[in-house]
Amino acid sequence: MKKKIVAIVPVRKGSKRIKNKNFKNFAGSNLFEIKLKSLKKVGLIDEIIISTDSEVAIKIAKKNNIRYHRREKYYASSKCTNSEFFENLAKSIQGDFLMYTPCTAPLIESNTIQKFLKKFIHNYPKFDSMNTINYVKEHLWLNNKPLNYNPANSPNTQDLPNIMKLTYGINIISRKKMIEKKNVLGSKPYFFELDDLESIDIDNPIDFKFAEFLYKKKYKKI
């Protein structure tokens, strides 16, 4: 029996760093609708559900015939921890596998999402979750101490060890495991590498302008 894959798009009404980030003009569209357009092209997704407290998002979801889960006030607030949010999200949405896909990674291609899902389906249950990563090759410090190199014998950046950075651009896990772990990371995660372009995540106004520039260039809008 085929397992149901549900893509979840989280959309909060407020954004502390960028006002109306998900609905702000981005290359003639907005981050939310760009994500919906991308997900609709992925054949392995059985259903798309919007998790939101935003009336604007609900209106767009209805226009696109997409179901939505109205997030309770607490679970849309900064008081809510990630663990609380993921546990509540999984309990609120039905599906065998939940694919968590934020709007803030607009440069991820539909083809990449399709490859991601094929890889997960092929490797499950050997791996119980899959998450996107990018490798960091920089001289890093933590608590005033070098993290990944010896300053007395400082290597070139290309010779530094690969340190994985979770990008959270695409994440998939079983609903049962998300409830158990209260996270999009399972007990046996598989890490799916994205290139530098698709790894870009929008977190502040500079990220927004940079991603928009690259998006326009990629799709020949400039």
Q: Does the domain formed by 5-218 have CATH 2.60.120.10? A: no
Residue-wise pLDDT tens digits, 14-73 = 777 898 999 999 999 999 999 999 999 999 999 999 999 999 999 999 999 999 999 999
DSSP 154: P
**Cα 7 to Cα 47, 69, 100, distances in angstroms:** 6, 12, 6
Cis-peptide into 125, omega within 30 deg: yes
Phi then psi for 188, rounded to 5 degrees? Answer: -130, 75
Mean pLDDT of 159-175: 96
Q: Render pLDDT for 104-156 as a digit per residue (tens, 0 to 9).
A: 999 999 999 999 999 999 999 999 999 999 999 999 999 999 999 999 999 99
pLDDT digits (tens, 9 = 90+) for 38-50: 999 999 999 999 9
What per-residue confidence (pLDDT) applies to 2? 82
In 3D, which of 162, 218, 182 has the Cα closest to residue 89? 182
Question: CB of 93 within 8 A of CB of 49?
Answer: yes
Question: Which of 91, 197, 187, 78 is closest to 131 using CA atoms?
Answer: 187
pTM of the entire predicted model: 0.93
Closest CA to 48 of 35, 91, 129: 35
